[in-house]
């Protein structure tokens, strides 16, 4: 066992060295078209021929350039469905653009893991159907081909995923009462996503007092009171909870709940 130079002057670098690093850096995507580089391999068909525009693709870290106006002919000899695939065979060290057809359904592609084997991988870049008299290209297939994005795109996507996750986990909502004019204010906590025990409840009693308490106090069939003082007099707010319903009222009926906000 020893150290082996890779990015050094005079170093001997194998294709697998580069391929493994490329594959690892770009989110372990087995195969895809490199987004934003070249023309991303557009596809068109005519005169029994499928034509590709320029672009770059990568299969398990091995990069390939598709030259503009690359073409492959389709023989109209039967009714078949097929793919045009970029076919890598590491055992034979070959690379070719090939037709793979079947009489019904769609062909099964050979897709070995080239990062841990000297195998073969067929990456479909076009999908078509043919009869003895016609060739039909599946134009929508091009939009479904995997894309290999830049590192900045990948980072931005991860940032958005984290933001969306946090927004779903941590949010706030003002809960309206079931009856705005009732003496005992009733609130339906099922309108707020998640369990009440995971929340903080903020209650405003007009301009008189505010309360913040943990949802962990909202145990089914529970009742408790929170004391407050207003103009030198002590009052209390009663909190009842049962079957996802929260009831709030002051022992002074003129002290009305003005808002309830739930934080999760």
Contacts of 42 (CB under 8 A, 6+ apart): 52, 53, 55, 142
For the stretch 62-111, pLDDT in tens is 999 999 999 999 999 999 999 999 999 999 999 999 999 999 999 999 99
47, part of any domain: yes
What is the pTM for the complete model shown? 0.69
Q: Are residues 180 and 141 in the same domain?
A: no
72, part of any domain: yes
Side by side, which strands form the sheet with 222-230? 185-188, 245-250, 233-242, 222-230
Number of domain units in the chain: 2
23, part of any domain: yes
Question: What per-residue confidence (pLDDT) applies to 83?
Answer: 98
Number of residues assigned to the chain: 264
How do beta strands 147-148 and 31-38 pair? parallel
For the stretch 34-46, pLDDT in tens is 999 999 999 999 9
CA-to-CA dists, residue 234 to 140, 209, 221, angstroms: 71, 11, 26
Question: What per-residue confidence (pLDDT) applies to 76?
Answer: 96
Q: Are residues 132 and 224 in the same domain?
A: no
What is the percent of the chain with per-residue pLDDT over 90, rounded to a whole number?
Answer: 73
Q: Are residues 143 and 19 in the same domain?
A: yes
Contacts of 84 (CB under 8 A, 6+ apart): 50, 72, 97, 98, 99, 100, 124, 125, 126, 127, 128
6, part of any domain: no
> What CATH number has the domain bearing residue 39?
2.60.520.10
Q: What domain range is 256 assigned to?
A: 172-263
Nearest alpha carbon to residue 96 among 127, 72, 115: 72
Q: Reduce the DSSP state of residue 176 to 3 states and report it.
A: coil
63, part of any domain: yes
Place 183 in a pLDDT band, splitting at 50, 70 and 90: confident
Question: What per-residue confidence (pLDDT) applies to 250?
Answer: 94
Please compute the mean of the pLDDT values over residues 243-260 and round it to a whole number: 92
Q: Regarding predicted confidence, which is higher, 15 or 168?
A: 15
For the stretch 186-198, pLDDT in tens is 998 876 656 778 8
For the stretch 203-235, pLDDT in tens is 999 999 999 999 888 888 889 999 999 999 999
For the stretch 143-179, pLDDT in tens is 999 999 988 998 999 999 998 888 777 778 888 999 8
Q: Which residues of 220-252 are buried (b: 16+ CB within 10 A; e: fewer)?
A: eeeeeebebeeeeeebebebbbeeeebbbbbee
Four-CA torsion 204, 205, 209, 212, nearest 10 degrees: -40
Q: Are residues 105 and 179 in the same domain?
A: no
Q: Are residues 144 and 186 in the same domain?
A: no
Q: Are residues 20 and 60 in the same domain?
A: yes
Q: In whole angstroms, what is the distance from residue 17 CA to residue 146 CA?
A: 23
Question: What per-residue confidence (pLDDT) applies to 194?
Answer: 61
Give the helix/strand (H/E) hosting 165: helix 151-169
119, part of any domain: yes
Q: Are residues 124 and 195 in the same domain?
A: no
Examine the pLDDT at 259 and tell me if it is beyond 90: yes
For the stretch 47-56, pLDDT in tens is 999 999 999 9
Q: Are residues 145 and 60 in the same domain?
A: yes
Q: Are residues 61 and 145 in the same domain?
A: yes
Q: Are residues 27 and 141 in the same domain?
A: yes
Q: Are residues 142 and 178 in the same domain?
A: no
Q: Is the dihedral of CA 93, 99, 103, 105 positive or negative?
A: positive
């Amino acid at each position: 066992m020893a150290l082996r130079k890779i990015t050094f002057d005079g170093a001997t670098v194998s294709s697998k060295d580069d391929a493994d690093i490329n594959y690892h850096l770009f989110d372990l995507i087995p195969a895809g078209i490199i987004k934003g580089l070249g023309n991303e391999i557009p596809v068109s068909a005519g005169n029994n021929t499928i034509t590709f525009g320029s672009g770059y693709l990568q299969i398990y870290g091995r990069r390939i350039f598709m030259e503009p106006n690359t073409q492959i002919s389709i023989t109209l000899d039967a009714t078949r469905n097929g793919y045009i695939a970029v076919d890598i065979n590491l055992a034979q060290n070959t690379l070719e653009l090939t037709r793979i057809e079947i009489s019904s359904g769609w062909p099964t592609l050979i897709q070995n893991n080239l990062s841990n084997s000297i195998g073969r991988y067929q990456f479909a870049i076009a999908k078509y159907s043919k009869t003895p008299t016609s060739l039909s290209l599946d134009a929508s297939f091009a939009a479904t081909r995997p894309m290999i994005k830049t590192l900045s795109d990948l980072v931005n996507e991860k940032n958005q995923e984290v933001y969306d996750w946090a927004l779903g986990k941590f949010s706030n909502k003002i809960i309206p009462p079931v009856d705005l004019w009732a003496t005992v204010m009733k609130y339906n906590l099922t309108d707020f996503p998640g369990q009440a025990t995971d929340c903080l409840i903020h209650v405003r009693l007009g301009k008189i007092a505010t309360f913040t308490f943990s949802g962990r106090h909202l145990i089914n069939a529970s009742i408790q009171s929170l004391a407050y003082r207003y103009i030198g007099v002590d009052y209390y707010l009663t909190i009842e909870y049962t079957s996802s319903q929260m009831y709030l009222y002051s022992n002074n009926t003129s002290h009305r709940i003005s808002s309830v906000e739930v934080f999760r």
